[in-house]
A and B are shown apart, each in its own frame.
Chain A
């Protein structure tokens, strides 16, 4: 263990910082969860790609820079230091991309990864169904083989980005006789295919970040399936994707360290009327964001040494989602009567309010924290399982 960056790592940080300072939009973008904001965020993905910053860890052959995970963390730190926008393509670059890297054929890597890194194709996830939320093994949407195509019929819901995105990925039942985890296949599909209807879902804040997807005999070429059909293939691929989602990539520590720093600044502004409890909450926010960063650096080092992320991905997801919620709650309490204002007196957007509302989704998406606690208890601590498995 050593805590000094190498001269090369420091030089890389300087390079990222200079680019971010020159390119990150000066004004916050409109929320990703409406047409105008989505288009702005896609434009930002393409600006990032113009600097070759789409996904720095991927090989150059797939639109990346071939950097290691420490450099990725440095990139993310500088990204959030500069106030970089949310990534419109996070379902692609952070979840599907690493999954294709692990399970995809060479042809699939070439076909899907480069346009993903360049922001040319934006991805939605299609995990949940009306009857399969936390219990994902209850998926019933079917993909029936017909020659060199699947014919998909069914419904997905809570599909992040699906209101506007280009492509989606999810699991479908390819073996009609199968039950639970078996007989599911991981399939990538063009959301504009004939037979797919998207119905945006209005969220509690009024915007439409996710959507329902209805599939009516949608024909998808079999080469769009990842890792093939088989007893448990699709489930294994999905669990790997979920591991990436909960584990290392989806929420890098820079995001929370930036929030903690803003919270410290906010506290200083409101110090005169703040309670001692708020002061402690602010300190705990900084400490927890730092703890998350140390842990992520340790996980990155472990992966670089040939290790893997296991059940600890669930611990991660519980930790960052509850940290994010508590930091924003503390901010709302510090803001007092200003907390409810959508815009402050000076016309600026109340990012704490937007962030608080968004933070409430964190303990729900990517597998609810109740499910994560079950996984932790059963797979890490070895407590007995109950019910259907």
Chain B
């Protein structure tokens, strides 16, 4: 005979797996520090790439002024502001990454805990059934 309670529980578990498993799969595999560290590394790469593209856009926009500046003997005159802005930009970018991914991790863990609880209930149901046999 179909156990209605068990079917309901299976439905809850299946629903989670369908909707949220992909979303929270990664966080389940990592410790918090590892997860955030991994995301910060990714951000260093993507942030630097985005900065490079933005820099190219600025250079294209001010092509003639750029040629004048580049031809100057004093290289530090234009290198230092570029590096300075890069450091400032990356700081903001990485702080944002940290805040967003920390929240995302904590949120995911909460969902995973709920999922574990549902699984535990299901497991108990199976155990009870086994005993009754």
Q: Do A and B come from one complex?
A: no
- B contacts, CB < 8 Å to A: none
